[in-house]
Structure 1
Amino acid sequence: MKKSDSTSNSAALPNKNSSQQPSHAIILLASGLSRRLGKAKQLLYKNGVPLINHMLQLAVSTNPQVIIVVIPKNKASIASEVAKLSDTHLHIKTVINQTPETGMGHSLYTAIEALTQFVNDKDFNYEAVERVLIIGVDQVLLDLEHVNGLLAGEHLVAASAYEPWQLLDTLAKNGHIECKAEVKNETKNPIVGLPLVIDYQLLKQWQFHISGDKGLRHLIRALPPSEIRTVFNKQLSYDVDTPEQLAYAQQQAWVDK
């Protein structure tokens, strides 16, 4: 995996023990309504399991203090899939987004609020959470190597960088639909966003600047270059937002048919 650091190591978080990775929490944003896709992307299957469970298993493998998973209201099938894992992994906490139509910003705000409550609850006896890994549910090629790359640094923010992609013409051959895609070559101005790792105290400060569809991107862009590190990963270009993108992902065997 290619990495591209935009900074030196001058903007490090407090490092209590250089041989020990700072403890972290995870926010999994999974409350989207998948309107363009026409079906719940959380319940698409990858390697025989629902996508939301696949992402939760990936999150669990990083050994976080707690996982906050935000799901939409009135979606019993999604809640049921999360419960299958939360019953065996007690550090998975489900949060219901009562207004999922509001956008990702509100979902993230809700997650930060829940995380703060859990961290401050003495009954849970969490160790100090220093950083938060934030991931979505539809970057179907996200893997542990990339997540560990984000967690490995000490900057205030470690964000993913990737290029936009588009589907080309869809071709029908012998009744079979074949999709083609390309990643635009825009490495000079890549998308910088999720998944990302952020200092917990900074995330709490930013909470009240998040609303609707307005997430963290504008706040990250305002940071001095010395405080952000980017990890480039072309595979993150491929998400699943539309039926055409889903067809392509299935054609590539990234998602089960």
Structure 2
Amino acid sequence: MAHDAVVLAAGGSRRLGRAKQLLTAGGEALVARVVRRVLATRPSRTLVILGAHEHAIAAVLEPYEVELLSNPAWEAGIASSLHVAARALHGRDHPVLLTVVDQPALETHHFANLLAAHDGSTDTVSAYGDALGVPAVLRAWTLARAEGLTGDTGFRRLWSEATPRAVRADELADDLDNEADVARAIAAGQLDALPR
């Protein structure tokens, strides 16, 4: 399926106290790992939205054919990165594979499953526990509505208005918000041990 892709990598990792985008798994930075897996789905365009730690993350992504877009308002929350993506993809009608970089269990098959399930009638989202979230495949119409979002509000509010198609992926419920999350991921073999 023809699609575009957006990787949200602008966050400041305040609760963690270090750039989660640059944590490593198998020696590979998480942001590079996610980008590599996104590119395996063969998107027409791949945008990576940067903000905090921009130069360090950009350096890690030099080998990849992606569009690096700066979000100078990244401290305002995730909605500001969605605004950047929506403006960059304005006028395109492809569905958009949207993902973050802090789900250590995320694999290429999660993207493939979402794309295979997406029929264009509604958004297709990941379901874990009682939540609906990313990664997701958004209709272009949904991404265009990002300008109405503020702060740390993502598309979940829109999904409460129009029921999306859900693809179960309970393993994606664990993300990397704090040191306890990182320790758990290291113990599970999903992350490399942190340097002392």
TM-score under structure 2 length normalisation: 0.92
| Aligned structure 1 segments of 4 or more residues deviating by more than 6 angstroms | none
Q: How far apart are 1:203 and its partner, in Å?
A: 1.9
How far apart are the structure 1 equivalents of 2:123 and 2:26? 31
Does residue 246 (structure 1) correspond to residue 193 (structure 2)? The answer is no
**Could you say which residue in structure 2 is the equivalent of 1:134?**
98
Does residue 191 (structure 1) correspond to residue 118 (structure 2)? The answer is no
Number of paired residues? 191
**Could you say which residue in structure 1 is the equivalent of 2:6?**
27
Task: Summarize the alignment of residues 60-71 of structure 1 with structure 2, pairs less than 5 Å apart.
Answer: 60-71=39-50
Task: Summarize the alignment of residues 160-175 of structure 1 with structure 2, pairs less than 5 Å apart.
Answer: 160-163=126-129
Cα pair 2:79 2:146 within 8 Å, conserved: no
Q: How far apart are 1:201 and its partner, in Å?
A: 2.8
RMSD between superposed Cα atoms in Å? 1.4
1:245 counterpart letter in structure 2? D
Is the partner of 2:63 in helix, strand or coil?
Answer: helix
Q: 1:74 to 1:47 in 2, by over 3 A?
A: closer
How far apart are the structure 2 equivalents of 1:71 and 1:253? 27
Is the partner of 2:48 in helix, strand or coil?
Answer: strand
Q: Please tell me whether Structure 1 or Structure 2 has the larger radius of gyration of its CA atoms.
A: 1
Q: How far apart are 1:74 and its partner, in Å?
A: 5.5
**Could you say which residue in structure 2 is the equivalent of 1:179?**
none
Cα pair 1:68 1:115 within 8 Å, conserved: no
| Residue segments in structure 1 that go unaligned for 5+ positions in a row | 1-20, 121-127, 164-189
How far apart are the structure 1 equivalents of 2:53 and 2:115? 34
Cα pair 1:134 1:196 within 8 Å, conserved: yes
1:37-83 deviations in Å (ceiling 9; x for gaps) = 11000000012210000000001000000111001156321111122
Q: 1:74 to 1:253 in 2, by over 3 A?
A: closer
Cα pair 1:25 1:129 within 8 Å, conserved: no
1:256 counterpart letter in structure 2? D
Cα pair 1:73 1:99 within 8 Å, conserved: no
Is the partner of 1:245 in helix, strand or coil?
Answer: helix
Identity among equivalent pairs (%): 31
How far apart are the structure 2 equivalents of 1:237 and 1:151? 19
1:80-130 deviations in Å (ceiling 9; x for gaps) = 112232xxx2xx1001110211101111111111222xxx6xxxxxxx642
Cα pair 2:10 2:54 within 8 Å, conserved: no
**Could you say which residue in structure 1 is the equivalent of 2:158?**
219
Cα pair 1:130 1:201 within 8 Å, conserved: no
How far apart are the structure 1 equivalents of 2:17 and 2:63? 25
